[in-house]
Structure 1
Amino acid sequence: MTRVRLPSWAVGVAGSLVIVALWWISALTVFSGVGAGARRAIPTPPEVVSQWAADGATFYGRNFGVTLVEAAQGFLWGNAIALLLASVVLVVPRTEGLITQIATITYCIPIVAIGPLVLIIAGAPDSGDPSGTAIFLAALSCFFTTVVGTLLGLRAADRAALDVVTVYGGNAFTQLRKVRLIAALPSILTALQIAVPAAFLGAILGEYFGKVDLGIGPAMTSAQQSLNAARVWGIALASGAVAIVGFAFFGMLGRLVTPWSRGRSSA
C-alpha cells in the first residue's frame, strides 16, 4: 500500500483548519455564556473578522506601527550588545564567567518587577512616540537567547581550521573573523529567529508600564476594559501573525545564508 505524503504547507493548512474548527465549536458550546444577554469570553471566528473590518486598517496600522518601532529598536540594541559580548568572550576568555552571569541575571529577572523601575528611569514618552520602557524590555527579552546561541556557535568552529589560522600567524581575533563567525552563523541566525517574537512580546509588555497612549498594549487594555472580546482576540491574533512573519523571515534567511547547515550545497 502506497502512502501519500503531504507537503509541509498542506499539513500546516490542515492543522490551521482543525484549530479554527475547534475554536469555533468551543465558542458556541463550552464558552457560549449563560442567558440571552451573556457575553462570550471567546468570540467566534466570524465575530473576530467582523471586528477586524470594523476597526479598519487605520486602527491596526496606528497601534502596531508604534509597537513595531519599539520592538525593532529593542531587537537591534539587545542583539547587538549580545553579539558584541559573546565575541569578547572568544577574544578574552576570562570574561566568560562575568558575561554569562550577566546574561543569566537578565533572563531570571521578572519583567513585571523591573518594568516599573525602567519606567522611572526612562520616563513616560510624548504622545505617539515610542516608549523607552518598551524598547528596553524588548532588548532585555532577546539578550539571553542571543548570547547563549552565539557562544555555542562560536565554539562549534572546526579545530583544524583554527590551527591553520594559528600556523599562518593569526591571533584570536583573526580566528574569530575568519573561522568562528562563519561556523557560528547557523546558531546566530537561529538565536535571532527566536529573538523576534521575544522582542515583540517584550515591547508589548513594556507598553503596559510605559504610560503610552498608542500601541498594542494600550489598545488591548482599552478593549479589555470595554469587555470587547472580539477586539481583544483580533489584536492577539494579529500580534501572533506579526511574530510568526518575523520568525519565518529569519528562518528563510538562515536557509539562504547557511545552506550547509541543512545538508545542502550553496549555489
Structure 2
Amino acid sequence: MPRRLPVPSWLAATVGILVVIAVWWIIAVLVDPGEGRHAIVPTPPAVIAQVVSDGFSFYTNAFVVTLREAGFGYLAGNVVALVLCALVLVLPPLEGVLNQIAVISYCLPLVAIGPILKLILGGATSTGDTSATATFVAGLSVFFTTVVGSLLGLKASDRAALDVITVYGGSRLTQLRKVRIVSAIPHVLTALQIAVPAAFLGAILGEYFGAIDLSVGTLLLTSQSSGQSERLWGLFLMCAFVAIIGYGLVGLVARAVAPWARGTAGAGA
C-alpha cells in the first residue's frame, strides 16, 4: 500500500480558505438580490471595497471597545471559575453546587436576562467607553467552559502521587499545589483557549443590550437596520478573524508556559 505524504497544516488551511471564498463567490453570483437593494450575499470584492471605503479607523475604534469588554470579561470570568475549582478540591462537597452553578450560567437565556442586566449594570456612558453589561456577558460566556475543563483536569491527577502525599502527612491543599495543579495545566489551558472566542462573542451579544454609541455590536445593528449588507459581511469576517487570532495567541502562550502539554492544550493553535 503506497505511503501517504503528510499535508502541511498551512497548505490545508490555505486550500480550505480558498474553497470557502470560491463557494461564497458562487452563491453571491447565483442569489438575486432584487431591484434597488444591496446584495443579500455580496461578492468578496464588494465586501472588500466597502471596508476600504469605510476606512481603517471606522472599524478599529469599535473593535477596541469590544476587545476591552471581552478582555475584562475573560479575565474576571476565568479567575472566578479557577478559584472556585481550586476551592472544590479543598472542599469536595462543593463540587455538586459548582457544577449546578456552571450549568445554570450556561443555560441562561441571554435574550431574556439582557434587558435586566442593562437595567442593573447600565451601558457605556460615553463614546469609546466600555459597557458593564457586555463585560458581564463576556465573563458569563467563559465561566462554564473553564469550570468544566478545570475540574476535569484537577481530578485527572495520578492516584499514586496523591497517596504518597497523604502517607507523608500532606493535606488536600498540599495535593493541590504539588500534584493536581500540574496535572490540570493541559486541561486548563485548553479551556482558556476555547474561552477566547466565547468571551468575544459574549461581549458582542452584551452590546446588543448595553452599548450606547460605539462598538462592534452597535455597528452590526446599524448595518442590519440600514440594509448595508456589504458592511455587515465585512464585520462578520473581521469578528471571525479576531476570534481566530485570539484563539491562536492563547495557544502560543500555552505552548510557552507548558511545553509538555503541547499535545493537548496546544493542539488547536
Q: Give the stretch that moved more between structures: 117-126 or 12-21.
A: 117-126
Q: Give the stretch that moved more between structures: 138-147 or 160-169.
A: 160-169
2:141/2:202 contact within 8 Å kept:
yes
Query: Which residue number in structure 2 is paired with residue 183 of structure 1?
Result: 183
Query: Which residue number in structure 1 is paired with residue 267 of structure 2?
Result: none
Distance in 2, matches of 1:25 and 1:226, equals 25
Query: Which residue number in structure 2 is paired with residue 167 of structure 1?
Result: 167
Q: In structure 2, do the counterparts of structure 1 residues 162 and 133 end up closer, same or farther at CA, with 3 Å as the change threshold?
A: same
Q: What is the SS of the residue equivalent to 2:207?
A: helix
1:141 and 2:141 equivalent? yes
Q: In structure 2, do the counterparts of structure 1 residues 115 and 158 end up closer, same or farther at CA, with 3 Å as the change threshold?
A: same
Paired amino acid for 1:205: L
Q: In structure 2, do the counterparts of structure 1 residues 263 and 102 end up closer, same or farther at CA, with 3 Å as the change threshold?
A: closer
Paired amino acid for 2:23: L
TM-score (norm 2): 0.93
Distance in 1, matches of 2:263 and 2:227, equals 51
Task: Give the C-alpha shift of residue 204 in structure 1.
Answer: 0.3
Task: Give the C-alpha shift of residue 170 in structure 1.
Answer: 1.6
Query: Which residue number in structure 1 is paired with residue 8 of structure 2?
Result: 7
Q: Which contiguous aligned blocks of 4+ residues in structure 1 show a shift greater than 4 angstroms?
A: none
Gaps of at least 5 residues in structure 1 are none
* CA displacement 1:206-259 (0-9 Å, x = unmatched): 111014211000011111122111100111110111100111112222333333
Query: Which residue number in structure 2 is paired with residue 113 of structure 1?
Result: 112
Paired amino acid for 2:130: P
Task: Give the C-alpha shift of residue 38 in structure 1.
Answer: 4.0
2:114/2:206 contact within 8 Å kept:
yes
Query: Which residue number in structure 2 is paired with residue 207 of structure 1?
Result: 207
Q: In structure 2, do the counterparts of structure 1 residues 180 and 42 end up closer, same or farther at CA, with 3 Å as the change threshold?
A: same
Task: Give the C-alpha shift of residue 262 in structure 1.
Answer: 4.4
Task: Give the C-alpha shift of residue 84 in structure 1.
Answer: 0.6
Gaps of at least 5 residues in structure 2 are 265-269
Paired amino acid for 2:10: W
Task: Give the C-alpha shift of residue 174 in structure 1.
Answer: 1.0
Query: Which residue number in structure 2 is paired with residue 21 of structure 1?
Result: 22
Query: Which residue number in structure 2 is paired with residue 67 of structure 1?
Result: 66
1:157/1:183 contact within 8 Å kept:
yes
* CA displacement 1:157-193 (0-9 Å, x = unmatched): 1111112222332211111111111100010011011
The count of residues paired between Structure 1 and Structure 2 equals 262
Task: Give the C-alpha shift of residue 263 in structure 1.
Answer: 5.7
TM-score (norm 1): 0.94
Task: Give the C-alpha shift of residue 5 in structure 1.
Answer: 3.0
Distance in 2, matches of 1:262 and 1:213, equals 42
Distance in 1, matches of 2:74 and 2:182, equals 22
1:67/1:204 contact within 8 Å kept:
yes
* CA displacement 1:17-42 (0-9 Å, x = unmatched): 0000010111011x23234x343111
Q: In structure 2, do the counterparts of structure 1 residues 103 and 2 end up closer, same or farther at CA, with 3 Å as the change threshold?
A: closer
After superposition, residues 61-100 of structure 1 pair within 5 angstroms as 61-100=60-99
* CA displacement 1:112-149 (0-9 Å, x = unmatched): 11111111111232112100000000000010110010
Distance in 2, matches of 1:3 and 1:103, equals 44
1:190/1:250 contact within 8 Å kept:
no
CA RMSD after TM alignment: 1.5
Q: Give the stretch that moved more between structures: 116-125 or 213-222.
A: 116-125
1:220 and 2:220 equivalent? yes
Distance in 1, matches of 2:117 and 2:76, equals 16
Task: Give the C-alpha shift of residue 105 in structure 1.
Answer: 0.6
Paired amino acid for 1:145: T
Distance in 2, matches of 1:250 and 1:21, equals 30
Query: Which residue number in structure 2 is paired with residue 41 of structure 1?
Result: 40
Query: Which residue number in structure 1 is paired with residue 252 of structure 2?
Result: 252
Distance in 2, matches of 1:43 and 1:142, equals 33
Q: What is the SS of the residue equivalent to 2:169?
A: coil
Distance in 1, matches of 2:155 and 2:13, equals 35
